[in-house]
Amino acid sequence: MAEGVEILCVGTELLLGDILNGNARWIAQELAALGLPHYRQTVVGDNTSRLIAAVQEAADRSRFLVTTGGLGPTPDDLTTEALAEAFDTPLVERPELWEEIERRLSAGGRSVAASNRRQALLPVGADVLPNPVGSAPGMIWSPRPGFTILTFPGVPSEMKAMWQATAAPWFQDNGGSRGAFRSRVLRFTGVGESTLAEQVADLIDSPNPTVAPYAALGDVTLRVTARADNAEAAVALLDPMEQELRRRTGQQCYGVDGDSLAGVVLELLRSAGETVAVAESCTGGGLGAALTAVPGASDVFGGGVIAYSNRIKASILGVPVAALEAHGAVSDPVVIAMAEAVRERFVCDWGIAISGVAGPDGGSPEKPVGLVHLAVAGPDGTEAAAQRFGDRRGRAAIQQLSVIRALDRLRLRLLART
């Protein structure tokens, strides 16, 4: 008997890598939260025959198929037509859909292209899955017993709104979920995935809640997932596991779920009633960008200087020319001077400075590509350190890692006082 949910994402741009397939990830997380088993994801380009084949294969092994993409008005939007053809079902125009599409698209006096009328076509027997924020409706359709298709546009904001308004409640009533699943993501920095896994090895073997490590550049996460009869019981299982993970890992864990390292640092500063400014060389504004990406940063972040050349380091920040000549821009004495100067000149409690060799050129045997010096100046003094990221990661990765390490050094300084 067919069971589980499959996800089918439609679009040649996904196959070519022009667009990151964030829709599949988001839907998978929503299915897990609903307690629905999810076994397979497929990506198909804008090709009718391959789309039909993928749908027919899914119908033989799955109970539900969730599709995204291909619901627009252009010739390469093939999903609805291919689904109808896959099950030899005619398409019919829904007058009420066309009226709604016309009303939305003509708002503000815009003309409505005749091609948009395609979006009002659905297979005979399909129910409309309303789109509260866009013009492309989806559908909920059972073309054969025991198999149901739910279609969504590829635009993430539209897909998410349709899911939350209609699809999630529909699955709760019709999906046959196996209890409730809840997940929590603990975020770590300054520790490698293998080292972290060793610290919690026995917990990774836990059957419920499960603990799974994932690694990204400069960041490691542990996803804790619990299964129970209802959401409240699942959350109750998560809490003691989180407490044990935090006990074992200490300050390596900087946040949970959607927390960012920059956001955590800003909140620590806010709680202390303190401010920060930055002086950057090799990161070219990346540190300031990370901080200002957090809403409300303006009450904590004073500003920054991108002092890329030695002339700017000396003239704007007042870094001693003698220090630049004796030690070079990538050195502890220079980043210390930068951090202390930006703290003083921006009248902030803390100053962070970064200078390094991001590559791919500019390295030397003494100062190779990937060497970065960081300094944090604060009320209790200034500390500096060198980081060696190596030359294989590439320029963008070295810059990103430099930002992460600088933020984490300030985080740890702030925590040391509590």
Q: Which of 174, 199, 233 is the last residue of a domain?
A: 174
Tell me how many domains the chain contains. Answer: 3
Residue 286 buriedness (CB in 10 A; 0-12 / 13-18 / 19+): buried
The rounded distance, in Å, linking the Cα atoms of 304 and 275 is: 12
Q: Are residues 370 and 269 in the same domain?
A: yes
Q: Residues 356-403: pLDDT tens digits?
A: 999 999 999 999 999 999 999 999 999 999 999 999 999 999 999 999
Q: Are 150 and 194 contained in the same domain?
A: no
In a shared domain, residues 61 and 11: yes
Residue 169 main-chain phi, psi, to 5 deg = -60, -35
User: Based on the domain organization, do 388 and 271 belong to the same domain?
Assistant: yes
Query: In the predicted model, what is the mean pLDDT of the chain?
Result: 94
Specify whether 246 is located in the same domain as 364: no
Q: Is the pLDDT of residue 1 over 60?
A: no
CATH number for the domain that contains residue 317: 3.90.950.20
Examine the domain organization and report whether 249 and 109 are in the same domain.
Answer: no
Structural domain harbouring 356: 261-416
In angstroms, rounded to a whole number, what is the distance separating the alpha carbons of residues 241 and 305?
Answer: 43
Matching residue, tokens 């970064």:
354
Together in a domain, 291 and 343:
yes
Judge whether residue 77 has pLDDT over 80: yes
Mean pLDDT of 327-338: 98
For residues 310 and 384, the answer to whether their CB atoms sit within 8 Å is no
| pLDDT level of residue 257 (50, 70, 90 thresholds) | very high
Residue burial 106-137, b: 16+ Cβ < 10 Å; e: rest = eeeeeebeeebebbbbbbeebebbebeebbbb
pLDDT of residue 350: 98
Residues 170 and 196 in one domain: no
Q: pLDDT tens for residues 211-234? A: 989 888 999 999 898 988 888 999
State the CATH number of the domain containing residue 170. Answer: 3.40.980.10
Is the distance from CB of 398 to CB of 355 less than 8 angstroms?
Answer: no
| Same structural domain, 274 and 246 | no
Measured CA angle at 415 (ends 188, 287), to 5 deg: 65
Residue 243's pLDDT is 97
Q: pTM to 2 decimals?
A: 0.79
Cβ–Cβ < 8 Å for 293, 262 = yes
* Distance (Å, whole) CA 334 – CA 338: 6
132 and 104 share one domain? yes
Question: Average pLDDT of 267-276?
Answer: 98
Last residue of a domain, one of 256, 272, 304: 256
The string of pLDDT tens digits covering residues 121-178 is: 999 999 999 999 888 899 999 999 999 999 999 999 999 999 999 998 899 888 766 6
The residue out of 195, 230, 256 marking a domain boundary is 256
**76 and 106 in a common domain:** yes
Residues 141 and 228 in one domain: no
Distances from the Cα of 171 to the Cαs of 5, 34, 56, 63, 125, in angstroms?
A: 11, 8, 22, 12, 19
Is the pLDDT at 410 greater than 80? The verdict is yes
**What are the structure tokens assigned to 357, written together?**
């060799």
